Amino acid sequence: MTINPLPPQAYTKETTKQAYDWLMNQPEHIRSLATSMDIAVNLYLTAKRHGTDALERPSIQNFQKELKSLAGLMEEFKPPTPPPSAAAPVMAPSQAPTPTAVTSHNRNLDAKSTEMLNEIKSGLNLSSDEEVLRLLISTGYYQLKALIKK
């Protein structure tokens, strides 16, 4: 017993007759695909909407066309990039990261403090040491301020 891979459809007698007439004028490899009237109607409607080429086995050209089509659709979602201003020179990206206050502070941390910093960074899924330090300073500040007021 073969299973129909298509969802059930509603169609008229006229559509069924048109699908049958169309199918009789198709090559054998397409006729062999129509193992039931549902599949025959689906093939007919697909060919009617997208052309007979849509029924052929996927080729690299069809795949490339589909990719280009998807790429065009994706362009709609890209945010517009502002044009570079004439006053600001365009600079090449530097290979070395610029040093920040965080990296200079990390050099002065002992092993235990660095371990705690990494644990908080990992546990809270933070992306940088700077975020962890700001969080720890802010939390510590409010905790200690509450102790002072008591």
Degrees, nearest 5: CA angle 119-123-125: 115
Task: Compute CA distances 26 → 58, 92, 115, whole Å.
Answer: 18, 60, 72
CA atoms within 13 A on the CB side of 102: 14
What are the pLDDT digits (tens) for 2-47?
Answer: 555 666 677 889 999 999 999 999 888 888 888 888 888 888 888 8
pLDDT band at 1 (very low <50, low <70, confident <90, very high): very low
Task: Compute CA distances 111 → 43, 53, 67, 68, 115, whole Å.
Answer: 69, 66, 51, 53, 6
pLDDT at 100: 47
pTM greater than 0.75 (yes/no): no
Average pLDDT score, the chain: 75
